[in-house]
């Protein structure tokens, strides 16, 4: 057991009367979590926990300290709310005082698989299961690597400390406040572990472009011939599920960098949505959940079997596991330059084709748009499909202007002559409630069609809504589903819904139209008439 003295954290101003545990192994962390009443074991060996009122991220509670360093480097507005230096310091001291009477768990490790860019991090938490989460998610140290560990980025997570909205200036009792100057994030009031993960990702999105590295909210895998593929997508689009392909090796499921030598994972584990996961549809994810994994907000039956179809706590049930739980994972976390890039959109309007090849201008347009759709029931108040646009498929984590990341992607795609595809993992034959969601096996067939080069040997035609190039055939996929309008019984209803979606795209892109070329702007949809 790695028990440290309280002076271990004194450089951070942390002084506690409790015990400090550093980098405990998973078995001990599980024991601590159960003894402390933080969770229980499921029949598959995973630790099952509840995150309380926060069952997802709290984007409105996320702030960035505005100071001399960030004044002209952060894209203020949108997801980037400014916070004062004084306010940051006040909450930091509040957390330090809160820690004084508590046992603390420390994870010292790394992010970024590329050894030339490897970055040490330190995460201090009050919950044993949060430390286990960090062990699964980040890159774990090798023996001897912790000697002289000097973290570049620090997370202080006081999950159960509720803030005072008026006194602390957070607008609520939850706060996630990042200081790029101090290279630190403060988290209070939320037990949702994804806040820690995405705070580190936000920091990487800020610092890596200056090093010539494009940070990306995408998964990545590599084929038998060494061909790397990237899968960009928002939550629920299939980013994790589709990259976990038994026929290809997984590099990572969520966060990567693209540098001069190729692709590399930022993390050491995966964070999958577990809702409706089965051994038939997503076997790699299903069997990765075992001892050493954490299940968030998953309901257990009377025999402690996880019920992945029960969304009574939240639709956003989650499972986290180290990447070595995936049998065919690339443990180095490193791959070559990609040959194919996929943009995944779960279109609940049923308008986008199941696969389309993008021109360079369309790639820029759809990357900056970052479209998907939320469906009824996933959030309070959502009673019909709701279009969601998240620039670069990761807007909440972009401290710099989306145009910077889009330009970097365009340059790298052009240099490496990548094929770029738009894939609809959403609905076909009608909108949500009328049509059916694209079966994952058909989407996998379409992806393999692109990955194995067969897509280069068929003819294409233009679909009329977004002017996208759609293959006229794909072995194993019914031809009638390739053009969405052909799948709708009511063609007039299709035309009306298509017009609705085009309007939403055009309105969203208004904020970017002065920052892109006329060719990119023209690559978007046009209103009829």
Residues marked active site are found at 57, 198, 217, 235, 239-240, 254, 318
| Spatial contact of 271 and 253, defined as CB atoms under 8 Å apart | yes
CB-based contacts of 466-473 (< 8 A; 24+ apart in sequence): 466/352, 466/356, 466/362, 466/502, 466/524, 466/525, 467/523, 467/525, 468/352, 468/353, 468/356, 468/357, 468/358, 468/362, 468/422, 469/356, 469/357, 469/358, 469/359, 470/353, 470/355, 470/356, 471/355, 471/357
Q: Is 236 left (phi over 0), alpha (psi -120 to 50) or beta?
A: left
- Do β-strands 119-125 and 104-111 pair in parallel, antiparallel, or remain unpaired? antiparallel
What is the sign, positive or negative, of the torsion defined by CA atoms of 18, 23, 24, 29?
positive
DSSP E strand boundaries for 141-236: 153-158, 175-179, 184-188, 214-222, 228-233
β-bridge partners, 263: 258, 335
| Spatial contact of 219 and 253, defined as CB atoms under 8 Å apart | yes
Q: At what angle do helices 26-35 and 128-137 cross, to 10 degrees?
A: 150
CA distances from 501 to 54, 299, 508 (A): 31, 36, 11
CA 471/CA 356 separation, integer angstroms? 7
Identify the CA nearest to 43 among candidates 285, 286, 304. Answer: 304
| Spatial contact of 313 and 391, defined as CB atoms under 8 Å apart | no
Query: Which tokens hold the place of 273?
Result: 């949505």
CA 501 to chain CA centroid, nearest Å: 24
Identify the CA nearest to 281 among candidates 311, 241, 321, 329. Answer: 241
| Spatial contact of 503 and 390, defined as CB atoms under 8 Å apart | no
Name the DSSP class of 329: B
| Spatial contact of 124 and 146, defined as CB atoms under 8 Å apart | no
Length in residues, the chain: 529
| Spatial contact of 506 and 524, defined as CB atoms under 8 Å apart | yes
């Amino acid at each position: 057991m790695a028990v440290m003295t309280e002076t271990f954290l004194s450089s951070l101003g942390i002084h506690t009367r409790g015990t400090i545990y550093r980098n405990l192994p998973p078995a001990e962390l599980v024991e601590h979590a159960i003894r402390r009443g933080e969770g229980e074991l499921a029949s598959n060996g995973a630790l099952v926990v509840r995150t309380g009122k926060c069952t997802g991220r709290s984007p409105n509670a996320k702030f960035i300290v505005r100071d001399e360093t960030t004044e002209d480097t952060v894209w203020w507005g949108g997801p980037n709310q400014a916070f004062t230096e004084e306010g940051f310091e006040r909450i930091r001291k509040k957390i330090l005082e809160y820690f004084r009477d508590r046992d603390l768990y420390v994870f010292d490790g790394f992010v970024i698989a590329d050894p030339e860019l490897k970055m040490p991090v330190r995460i201090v938490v009050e919950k044993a299961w949060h430390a286990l989460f960090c062990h699964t998610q980040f890159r774990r140290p090798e023996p001897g690597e912790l000697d002289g560990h000097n973290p570049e980025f620090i997370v202080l997570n006081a999950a159960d400390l509720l803030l005072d909205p008026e006194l602390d200036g957070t607008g609520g009792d939850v706060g996630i406040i990042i200081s790029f100057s101090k290279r630190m994030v403060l988290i209070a009031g939320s037990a949702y572990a994804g806040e820690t993960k995405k705070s580190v990702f936000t920091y990487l999105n800020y610092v890596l472009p200056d090093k010539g590295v494009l940070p990306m909210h995408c998964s990545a895998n590599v084929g038998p011939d060494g061909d790397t593929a990237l899968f960009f997508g928002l939550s629920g689009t299939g980013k994790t599920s589709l990259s976990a392909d038994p026929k290809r090796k997984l590099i990572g499921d969520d966060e990567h960098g693209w540098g001069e030598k190729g692709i590399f994972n930022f993390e050491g584990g995966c964070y999958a949505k577990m809702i409706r996961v089965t051994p038939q549809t997503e076997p790699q994810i299903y069997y990765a959940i075992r001892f050493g994994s954490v299940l968030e907000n998953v309901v257990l039956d009377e025999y402690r079997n996880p019920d992945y179809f029960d969304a009574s706590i939240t639709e956003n049930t989650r499972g986290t596991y180290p990447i070595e739980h995936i049998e065919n994972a690339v443990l180095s976390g490193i791959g070559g330059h990609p040959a194919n890039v996929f943009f995944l959109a779960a279109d609940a309007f049923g308008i986008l084709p199941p696969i389309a090849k993008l021109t360079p201008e369309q790639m820029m347009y759809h990357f900056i748009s970052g479209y998907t759709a939320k469906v009824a029931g996933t959030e309070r108040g959502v009673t019909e499909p709701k279009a969601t646009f998240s620039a670069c498929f990761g807007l909440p984590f972009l401290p710099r202007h989306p145009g910077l990341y889009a330009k970097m992607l365009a340059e790298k795609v052009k240099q490496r002559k990548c094929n770029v595809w738009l894939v609809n993992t959403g609905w076909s034959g009608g909108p949500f409630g009328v049509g059916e969601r694209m079966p994952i096996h058909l989407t996998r067939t379409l992806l393999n069609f692109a990955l194995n080069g067969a897509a280069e040997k068929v003819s294409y035609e233009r679909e009329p809504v977004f002017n996208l190039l759609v293959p006229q055939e794909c072995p194993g996929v019914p031809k009638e589903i390739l053009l969405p309008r052909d799948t709708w019984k009511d063609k007039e209803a299709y035309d009306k819904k298509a017009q609705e979606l085009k309007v939403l795209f055009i309105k969203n892109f208004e904020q970017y139209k002065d920052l892109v070329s006329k060719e990119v702007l023209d690559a978007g949809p046009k209103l009829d008439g």
